Amino acid sequence: MSEISINSERLLGRILELGEIGRDDDGRLTRLAASDTEKLGRDKFVSWIEQAGLGVAVDRIGNIFGIWRPAAVSDEAPLMLGSHIDTVINAGIYDGCYGVLSGLEVIETLVAAGFQPSRPIVVAAFTNEEGVRYAPDMMGSLVYAGGLDVDAAHATVGTDGTKLGEELRRIGYDGEHQPGFIRPHAYIELHIEQGPVLEREGIQIGAVENLQGISWQRVTISGDANHAGTTPISMRRDAGHAAALVITFLRERARNSKTPTVATVGCMSFEPNAINVIPSRATFTVDLRDPDEDRLKQEEAALEAYLAQLAKEEDVSFEVERLARFQPVAFDGKIIELIEKAAAGRGHTVRRMTSGAGHDAQMIARIAPSAMIFVPSLGGISHNPREKTQDEDLVAGANMLLDVVKQITGGGV
């Protein structure tokens, strides 16, 4: 078969068109899961699926599927492509949407080329990947993979007091299919990197071989509020100072490590938060990530040991609350190799890499061999209107996806 390529004009046009849906009067793009604006995005995606002549299916958690099921292979387990089309608040236009629209583009391209796949091909848009309105994030794929009961997911109360199940019904996306109704032969997700590595190294394609384990904890350190002027340094039980020591400890540990471990303290609050009062309490979050589960556990243990040491040295007490914990996910080696070959075949530079962010692929990996393809994010910026990937990189990534899909559904994997 001669080389075929995706229709870049159609793909780029749809990314821009979907990116206009859900903008407010100030031009800010927001399509929170199961909201009115997200309904409009869903409707647009469904219209494109139908336009392409594919079947549409929606499951009970609102995941949308565009299904190409040629009669000759209708009994085979489908190859699934996908991502999500919900966004954060004041979002960019690429996160999630790029993968969903590229999946559709690949199928349309193959249909138009008269390609005869060895199995059905499905593009999926999973519900509530961002987790901004309803927690946890990656909910639609989690439910789909059997990791969360759909009724429990329906009962989730959002930041606005709504229930997800009721909102899905209200916007007409409470489908009839049971989550997991299509058990994929394999799953591939194309996504912007959302980090600076590819751009920094001048590499066009990332073959994502694993996804970091994530540990989220909230730490509360308690000391004693006292007068900033009258309390000698030696008598202070300063929760704010203890929190600062934790931040510098985590940074030094990550900096001196030869591993890809990252640690971030993103949230911080002091009490009573008065200029002339020594903080009695500091509450902060710790985000630890590592692609290796043993190392992630070591980092958690090191933090715990340091907190215990601090409690003695600084005469403070502490509490730790676990907010979220995901084990690292290893993606499928064979698909990674196909991605590398596809990159070589088109003359693109490629490197294996770790995903620092969470993605639907980590959930679907529970039920099918999975992998991801990354393209560069300018400045590593994401979850931000300045999120940007160059058009040529977008097209290159979609062609990678096309070539890998051809390999899997033509040659077999």
Point out the annotated binding site for Zn(2+).
Answer: 84, 95, 130, 191, 383
| Cβ proximity of 194 and 91 under 8 Å | no
Q: Which of 196, 220, 315, 348: binder of a second copy (CB under 8 A)?
A: 196
Going from the C-alpha of 258 to that of each of 61, 185, 334, 380, the distances in angstroms are 41, 37, 28, 22
- The interface region with a second copy, picked from 3-11, 61-69, 174-182, 190-198 by CB under 8 A, is 190-198
Site for a second copy contains 378 (CB under 8 A): no
- What's the closest the beta carbon of residue 158 comes to a second copy, in angstroms? 17
Q: Which of 176, 230, 312, 412: binder of a second copy (CB under 8 A)?
A: 230
- The interface region with a second copy, picked from 147-155, 167-175, 233-241, 298-306 by CB under 8 A, is 233-241
Quote the crossing angle between the two packed helices 391-406 and 97-112, to the nearest 10°. Answer: 50
| Cβ proximity of 72 and 5 under 8 Å | no
User: What are the start-end ranges of the E strands in 73-204?
Assistant: 79-83, 121-125, 186-192
Two tokens, residue 353: 């890499």
Query: What is the rounded distance in angstroms from the CA atom of residue 234 to the CA atom of residue 278?
Result: 13
Query: What is the rounded distance in angstroms from the CA atom of residue 19 to the CA atom of residue 15?
Result: 6
- What's the closest the beta carbon of residue 301 comes to a second copy, in angstroms? 20
238-257 footprint of a second copy as x/- string (CB under 8 A): x-xx-xxx-xx--x--xx--
Site for a second copy contains 315 (CB under 8 A): no
Site for a second copy contains 279 (CB under 8 A): yes
28-47 footprint of a second copy as x/- string (CB under 8 A): --------------------
- What's the closest the beta carbon of residue 76 comes to a second copy, in angstroms? 35
- The interface region with a second copy, picked from 99-107, 226-234, 362-370, 394-402 by CB under 8 A, is 226-234
Two tokens, residue 389: 């990937």
- What's the closest the beta carbon of residue 263 comes to a second copy, in angstroms? 8
- What's the closest the beta carbon of residue 324 comes to a second copy, in angstroms? 9
Site for a second copy contains 302 (CB under 8 A): no
Site for a second copy contains 228 (CB under 8 A): yes
| Cβ proximity of 409 and 79 under 8 Å | yes
Q: Give the DSSP per-residue string, 359-403.
A: -HHHHHTTTS-EEEEEE--GGG--SSTT----HHHHHHHHHHHHH
DSSP one-letter code for 46: H
Site for a second copy contains 388 (CB under 8 A): no
* Closest among 299, 318, 221 to 259, alpha carbons compared: 299
Residues 135-174 that bind a second copy (CB under 8 A): none
Q: Which is nearer to a second copy, 144 or 284 (CB)?
A: 284
Query: What is the rounded distance in angstroms from the CA atom of residue 5 to the CA atom of residue 102?
Result: 12
Q: Is 212 helix (H, G, I), strand (E, B) or coil?
A: coil
Residue type at position 348: H
Query: What is the rounded distance in angstroms from the CA atom of residue 353 to the CA atom of residue 202?
Result: 14
Site for a second copy contains 312 (CB under 8 A): no
Query: What is the rounded distance in angstroms from the CA atom of residue 154 to the CA atom of residue 176?
Result: 14
Q: Which is nearer to a second copy, 2 or 276 (CB)?
A: 276
- The interface region with a second copy, picked from 75-83, 98-106, 232-240, 302-310 by CB under 8 A, is 232-240
357-376 footprint of a second copy as x/- string (CB under 8 A): xx------------------
Q: Which is nearer to a second copy, 47 or 273 (CB)?
A: 273
54-93 footprint of a second copy as x/- string (CB under 8 A): ----------------------------------------
8 backbone dihedrals φ, ψ, rounded to 5°: -65, -35
Site for a second copy contains 327 (CB under 8 A): no
Site for a second copy contains 289 (CB under 8 A): yes
Going from the C-alpha of 386 to that of each of 34, 128, 378, the distances in angstroms are 24, 22, 9
Site for a second copy contains 330 (CB under 8 A): no
Going from the C-alpha of 72 to that of each of 39, 66, 75, 78, 133, the distances in angstroms are 34, 18, 8, 13, 42
Query: What is the rounded distance in angstroms from the CA atom of residue 387 to the CA atom of residue 196?
Result: 12
Q: By CB under 8 A, name the binding residues for a second copy.
A: 193-197, 200, 212, 214, 216, 225-235, 238, 240-241, 243-245, 247-248, 251, 254-255, 260, 262-270, 273-279, 282, 285, 287, 289, 323, 355-358, 380-384
